Structure 1
């Protein structure tokens, strides 16, 4: 039997605090594992970065993270990061297993009845060839609208912390997702940024008509569970379940939020 303190942690990585949507699901499926949550808040938001500089930053950051935390697996809970740097991470660190986050275009194409699907993402994810390839591979029979929001990730960070945000401002960001074509309407919106599911109830209230808001967090967590060995008799280890912020200085509201997710900071 493996002692609890020998279990390696699961590292969950995001540009900010949106990856907590994935962490929440992963904890349910992997209760015996400890978690290290890493928020690259010093570089947030990723969507506005130049691609080469951002990839270089992510690779450099993971060199340090893997050496310091020695995780069992890394979950990249960020569409922008994984669609840009996922292949490079796997090439540079072949001994590590990376579970990525990509826009849920395939399940959306399988579920839609109207054939009108929108992908709500960051500008970086919308620009990525990876996203276009997913559409070509799985959604050629659908009309897919890519909506790159400049502001929604920042709004989500504020919303998660309990700060007020304007209904009109949110509606302006999601309105392009809603398409009417002949007698059909958009019936699925893919939430292609892990920040966005935190705002799903707000989106539902403001939407001009009901749609299925597709959150990939559970599917990502299931994939991570498949990759992590389940050890009989293992107990949840001490010393993990903490959050790392690359700024080194999360504010009080963020620290309180981490505590709500059972994560230590500092």
Structure 2
């Protein structure tokens, strides 16, 4: 276990086992488990290392440059010990900042998680959809570039929800979900434009799929919820050589802090 968000070098509890060749999945908390779940469906034999950077949770509250430097330091030290076959940044906020920097020093594939704006633009029938993400993801130039490239003719509500990641953490910890709080957080997603209304909501944070059932309960009307996790797993399969990935071993889970 790490002692803090900038601990370097990383020392994994004096473990003697060979950890090399597993796929490293990184998030600030439990949200990346939605991506880990899809990776296991796509490549069930692959060994995974899941790192929840709890000492730095939530990433959405960080200033951009500081978060980029923190994640790069963390991944650099972790990779030196674990020697992963690939790194999956299972967080939209982090991915909008760190992918280029990580690819500059890592010798293995780096797969990011970005808002599924292109799929939403392809699936919407009304031309009105929402991107539900953390405030950090909503304000990034990366997100606006995706809109300009793939959805410039659509009406898009960019909704920065500051409390949903915490609600997802609560749910997975068995503490229940405050449905009224959830209702308030997602309400700005549901808009009407020229008689047409939101028909798709992009889940722009890997925590959010764990709240899908509750969001369906409190939504004012039915929409398509777009989860990017299956596409991330598919991309991993495309870019990683199967022979480089450790197989036949247990998945391991670590926390910082």
* TM-score of the two chains, using structure 2 as the length reference: 0.90
Aligned-pair distance for 1:226? 1.2
Aligned-pair distance for 1:167? 1.2
Match of 1:194 among 198, 201, 206: 206
Instruction: Tell whether the 8 Å contact from 1:8 to 1:72 is kept in structure 2 after alignment.
Output: yes
How many Å separate the matches in 1 of 2:58 and 2:156? Answer: 25
Alignment of 1:59 with 2:72, yes or no, is yes
Match of 1:109 among 92, 107, 121: 121
Alignment of 1:183 with 2:195, yes or no, is yes
Alignment of 1:85 with 2:95, yes or no, is no
Instruction: Tell whether the 8 Å contact from 1:167 to 1:206 is kept in structure 2 after alignment.
Output: yes
* Cα deviation 1:33-64 (Å, max 9, x = unaligned): 11000111100001111111111100100111
How many Å separate the matches in 2 of 1:6 and 1:12? Answer: 14
How many Å separate the matches in 2 of 1:7 and 1:58? Answer: 20
Instruction: Tell whether the 8 Å contact from 1:7 to 1:33 is kept in structure 2 after alignment.
Output: no
Backbone CA RMSD of aligned residues? 1.7
* Cα deviation 1:50-80 (Å, max 9, x = unaligned): 1111111001001111111101001110000
Alignment of 1:39 with 2:49, yes or no, is no
Aligned-pair distance for 1:25? 0.8
Aligned-pair distance for 1:215? 0.4
Which 4+ residue blocks in structure 1 deviate beyond 3 angstroms? none
* Cα deviation 1:73-111 (Å, max 9, x = unaligned): 011100001101111111232x12100000000000011
Structure 2 vs 1, CA of residues 8 and 204 (structure 1 numbering), >3 Å: closer, same or farther?
Answer: same
Matches within 5 A, 1:222-233: 222-231=234-243
Aligned-pair distance for 1:228? 2.0
Alignment of 1:26 with 2:54, yes or no, is no
Instruction: Tell whether the 8 Å contact from 1:8 to 1:33 is kept in structure 2 after alignment.
Output: no
How many Å separate the matches in 2 of 1:6 and 1:206? Answer: 43
Structure 1 runs not aligned, ≥5 long: 248-266
* TM-score of the two chains, using structure 1 as the length reference: 0.87
Alignment of 1:71 with 2:71, yes or no, is no
Alignment of 1:165 with 2:194, yes or no, is no
Partner of 1:208: 220
Match of 2:152 among 129, 140, 164: 140
Instruction: Tell whether the 8 Å contact from 1:103 to 1:131 is kept in structure 2 after alignment.
Output: yes
Aligned-pair distance for 1:235? 8.3
How many Å separate the matches in 2 of 1:127 and 1:196? Answer: 18
Structure 2 runs not aligned, ≥5 long: 1-17
Instruction: Tell whether the 8 Å contact from 2:132 to 2:189 is kept in structure 1 after alignment.
Output: yes
Matches within 5 A, 1:235-246: 236-238=247-249, 240-246=250-256
Equivalenced residue count is 240
* Cα deviation 1:211-259 (Å, max 9, x = unaligned): 001001111001011122234xx98333x41111011xxxxxxxxxxxx
